[in-house]
Structure formats: structure tokens, C-alpha cells
Amino acid sequence: MMDIMKRIYMDHSATTPVDPLVVDAMLPYFSERFGNSSSLHSFGQEADEALSLARAQVADSIGAQAEEVIFTSGGTESDNIAIQGVISRDSGKKQHIITSVIEHPAVLSTCDFMKGIGHDITYVPVSSEGIVNVDDIEKAIRDDTVLISVMHANNEIGTIQPIEEIAKIAKDNDVYLHTDAVQSVGKIPVDVNKLGVDMLSISSHKLHGPKGVGALYVREGTLLKPVTFGGGHESGLRPGTENIPGIVGFAKASSIAKERLAIDSSQMGRLRDSIIKKVFDTIDDVRLNGHATKRLPNNANLSFRYVEGESMLMLLDIAGIAISTGSACSSRSRHASHVLDSIGLDPDYVHGSIRISLGRDNTMEEVDYLAGTLRETVSKLRQISSPAKC
């Protein structure tokens, strides 16, 4: 049986534990090889070499050239540089961006801000299965469109968007294409050339790397302006002393993720399918949100009628299982998640949604324990709630 003292983590879309191999790779860069990569002396040169190697590793993991990778402080900053870097925030010229309604707040809030200062944003809708319609994007293109930003995979419902097809439209219309691949790297293949994107955001802490570091892929020739100003680091796009231990760890995590991709994704997919089957076999009035097949192998977003998400989350937490309701960032607010809203989920279900996001270390034993605990949890909460008119 399950050792109940061991906590089970199934919230890998929020963040992941750092791989011990990654911590080992980082450690020498804290107190021994601690130089500033801009320094000319041997400490600085060690740091600079580590930085170059890390850049090559991250680039390699997404099929890019080393010079096309700029390091940032995380996915949010990468998204901001991509969007703010393209649109002319200060020129007074009105420009147009196309994005989707299910983007992460790092993209949506940045677009909202741009709208607030006079630019135009088209937020294309998604189907009830959470997929963007490529025609909607094509139709939205205008003469003043400068950027399309559509995420590779959604952080809440795990749906995978048709980036390759969008890339064709972007290319035909000479518009930049950015994709937020924060959730997809390490779960499905991510290759900037196959995808055909001009920019792509990654976040280290979602792939068993350290927090506080990420990258923006910027295709050679893409014209970007920086958001912050300083010492001209990262090709002038992202100033500040480079976080060498973080970057080294991120690069190690990227390499490992690439190496393990086939095995990890099939293993996570097997467990995820088992969760869905067990839940549907044992619990009534449940729905799987998102698309049946066009989804990340580690994501199961489920809605239960007559129960509320936070209550489920807490009971599962007490039972030692960590999951989330919607995205980590929004679980403190009582609004229904904008993603679940945008797929038109029945109001009876929308507040009873949880996201189970697996990682490569989860096991079938843990999945069994989850399924059993979830059944008890839903049953307990339904006893409290129904048949109050819900």
C-alpha cells in the first residue's frame, strides 16, 4: 500500500522539483566558479564559457542556433520581451496583434496593456475543445498586424495549438509569430524550425530546472527592442549580470528533457490515461476538459458536478496529493478560470474543475491512490452539497 507519509505531487504545470542532476550541475557555480561573465579575468572567463555552453545546450534542445537564444528571468519575461519587443510601444503608431483567449496571463496581460495604450488586439476564440481555429487567425490579419502570439500548449487544459499551420499564415502575411512553449517543452517535441516560429518562450522551472530563469528564442533577423535597459547583455535584449548557476541548471534540465522526451511522454501519457479511465469508471457527472488527443501527455483537467475545486484541492492536499484548480496563478481568486470560461463549460461544472499535471517521477501506484482518494473526495463533497439546488 501507499506510504501515506509520502506526499504525492501532481501539479507539474505549476512548477517542478529540480532534478538532482541539475542541482549538481549548478553547485560549482555558486561559490567556486562564481565569476561575472563580463569580467576579463579567469573567474569571468570560466563564467563566460559556462554561459556559452549553456546557450548551445538550450539552443540544441529546441533545434535553434546558439546566437538565437537569449536568457531571461523566466517565462513571463520571455513573453513580455517577445510582445513588447515587436510592438511599437512609444512610436505613437497604432499596431495590431493577434492572440488567443486562452493565453497565459503573461501574454494576455501584456496584450491588454498594449490595448490600453492604444494598440489593437484581436483575441481569437477557441473551440469547445480548447483549440484555436486557424481560419480565425487568417481572417484577423490586417495591414497593421505585426505579431501573432499563440501558445504551443495550454497550461490549464493542456490543449496543443496548430502552430505549424499558423506559421504558414504568418509567413504568407509577413507577420512575426511568437509561441509560448512554457508548457510543451519536455512533454512533446519542440523544434523552432518545424514549428516555423520567429520567437518561442521557455521557462526552466517547468522542466525540472531552477526557478528564476528562462529563455526567449529569437530567430535570426527578427527585429526586437529591449524592455529593460542596462549593460547590453544578451545581445542588448536583456540586461543584467547573467544568472550563471541558474542558466547552467536550466541548460542541464533542457538537455535531460530532450534526452528523456520519448520515454517520459509515453510514461506520463500512460498514467494520465489510467487516471481518466479510473475517474470515468468510478465517478458520475464528470467531464474531461480540453481535447481528447491534441493535449499534453501529462495533463488531465477534469470537472465534477456539485463539487467545488478548492474544496477538492484541500481534501486531496490533506490526503497528501497536490493538484490545482485551474492555473496556479489564479487559484486564489474565486473567478472561474478564463480558459474554462472560453471553452464554454457548463456553469454547473466550471467551479468543480481540477488540473492534474503529471511529472516523470509519478508512478502507477500514485495514480491508483489518487483515483481512490478522488472518488472518496467527490463523494464526500457531494454529500455536503447535493441535493441543494446546484
Partner 1 sequence: MYSKKIIEEFTNPKNVGIIENADGVGEVGSTIDGDVITVYVKVNDDVLTDVKFKTFGCVVAISTSTMVTQLAKGKTVDEALTISNEDVQNALGGLPSGKDRCSGFALDALHKAIEDYRNKA
Ligand X SMILES: Cc1ncc(COP(=O)(O)O)c(C=O)c1O
Asked if 160 and 134 count as a contact pair (C-beta separation under 8 A), the reply is: no
- By CB under 8 A, which span of 160-168, 253-261, 296-304, 306-314 interacts with its own copies? 306-314
Q: Considering only the stretches 9-17, 61-69, 286-294, 338-346, report the one whose residues sit in contact with its own copies under the rule CB under 8 A.
A: 9-17
The answer to whether 329 is a known catalytic residue is: yes
Instruction: Tell me which H or E stretch contains 382.
Output: helix 364-385
Of 62, 21, 54, the C-alpha closest to 37 is 54
Number of residues lying near its own copies (CB under 8 A): 80
DSSP 233: T
Q: Does 182 bind ligand X (CB under 6 A)?
A: yes
- β pairing state of 176-180 and 214-218: unpaired
Shortest CB 49 distance to its own copies, Å: 15
Q: Which pairs with CB-CB distance under 8 Å and at least 24 residues apart come from 361-365?
A: 361/17, 362/8, 362/9, 362/10, 362/268, 362/271, 363/271, 364/271, 364/274, 365/2
Nearest to 209 by CA among 185, 175, 235: 185
Among its own copies, partner 1, ligand X, none, partner that 275 touches (CB below 5 to 8 angstroms by kind): none
Pairwise CA distance, residues 358 & 13, whole Å: 8
CB of 247 to partner 1, least distance (A): 19
Which of 329, 330, 361, 385 is the catalytic position? 329
From the list ligand X, its own copies, partner 1, none, partner contacted by residue 167 (C-beta under 5 to 8 A by kind): none
Q: How far apart are CA 304 and CA 293, in angstroms?
A: 21
Nearer to its own copies, 19 or 264 (CB): 19
Binding site for partner 1 (CB under 8 A): 40, 45, 48, 306-311, 314-315, 318, 332, 334, 336, 347-348, 350-351, 383-390
| Active site residues per annotation | 329
Contact set with ligand X (CB under 6 A): 74-76, 79, 104, 106, 151, 155, 180, 182-183, 203, 205, 214, 240-241
